[in-house]
Amino acid sequence: MKDNVIVGVDVSKRRLDFCLMREGKILSEHQTKNIPVAISALIEKMMAKYGGDFLFCAEFTGQYTYPLACACAATGCALWLENPTQIKLSSGMRRGKKDSADARMIAEYANRHADKVRLHNRSSEQLERLKQLSRERALYVTETAKLKGRLRDQGDCMPPDIFKEKSARLANIIAAIGAEIAAIDARMSEICRSSEQLARQMELLTSIPGVGKVVALAMIIETGAFTKFDNPRSFNCHA
């Protein structure tokens, strides 16, 4: 459509770079903090100035895209989160790395491939909670493995009395982290039970030999409760 504005967004931890494009021509470029209130305020200013429908396109960078998704939902704008590799392979060779140039590259990609847009649908509250809890759990599991490795490997690298004291402290930390992991597991199970859909999916997945709660939850989170894939082959390819 003639009045549509395509916005390429380069997402980083602290900042977003925007490149606005209409009919293949750059309208303007902007920067803002990566927080929902700042992004929403900028989007409203851009909409008031240029009018038309806005399509935001950004590389999917995990949790750093969450503020952008919230702002787009609040302002009623369409959001397309694309695989970073897909954008880079479709954009040819580029020299250097600059956020504003990356925003232009993403805007150009979205402008060329607007007919292939796949709009982002925000996860339900239950899925978002599961996603955040799963990430926290993975962090604790990784740290526990590191601490257990120190218990196994350092016994012969220091005087026995020092290692005894250190191992006691490490064991206490490992036990405390283990308690937090158990609490997260209980909370995730509670969330699944609160949703008929999630409870049914957990029941079906865990009925498969070799699939436990951790793997089942990972599949539910990764697939958006099995809404992101049209057929089993696509999911298998993604996995």
The residue ranking higher by pLDDT, 139 or 224, is 139
The residue ranking higher by pLDDT, 99 or 184, is 184
pLDDT over threshold 90, residue 188: yes
Give the tens place of pLDDT for each residue, 193-231.
999 999 999 999 999 999 999 999 999 998 888 888 888
Calpha distance 74→177 (Å, rounded): 37
Give the tens place of pLDDT for each residue, 165-178.
988 999 999 999 99
Give the tens place of pLDDT for each residue, 16-50.
999 999 988 999 999 999 999 999 999 999 999 99
**114 CA to centre of own chain:** 22
CA angle 81, 91, 76 (to 5 degrees): 25
| Average pLDDT of the chain to the nearest whole number | 89
Residue 10 structure tokens: 């380069």
pLDDT at 26: 93
Calpha distance 192→148 (Å, rounded): 31
How buried is residue 214: exposed, middle or buried, by Cβ count under 10 Å (0-12/13-18/19+)? middle
What letter does residue 122 receive in the DSSP assignment? P
If we measure between CA atoms, which residue out of 118, 112, 91 comes closest to residue 102?
A: 91
**Range with the poorest average pLDDT among 19-33, 53-67, 145-159, 177-191:** 145-159
pLDDT at 93: 65
pLDDT at 230: 80
**11 CA to centre of own chain:** 12
Indicate the pairing of strand 15-22 with strand 25-33: antiparallel
- Mean pLDDT, to the nearest integer, of 90-94? 72
Residues sharing a CB contact under 8 Å with residue 232, sequence separation 6 or more, in sequence order: none
pLDDT at 217: 93
pLDDT at 7: 95
Q: In Å, what is the CA distance from 158 to each residue of 154, 163, 167, 235?
A: 7, 6, 12, 50
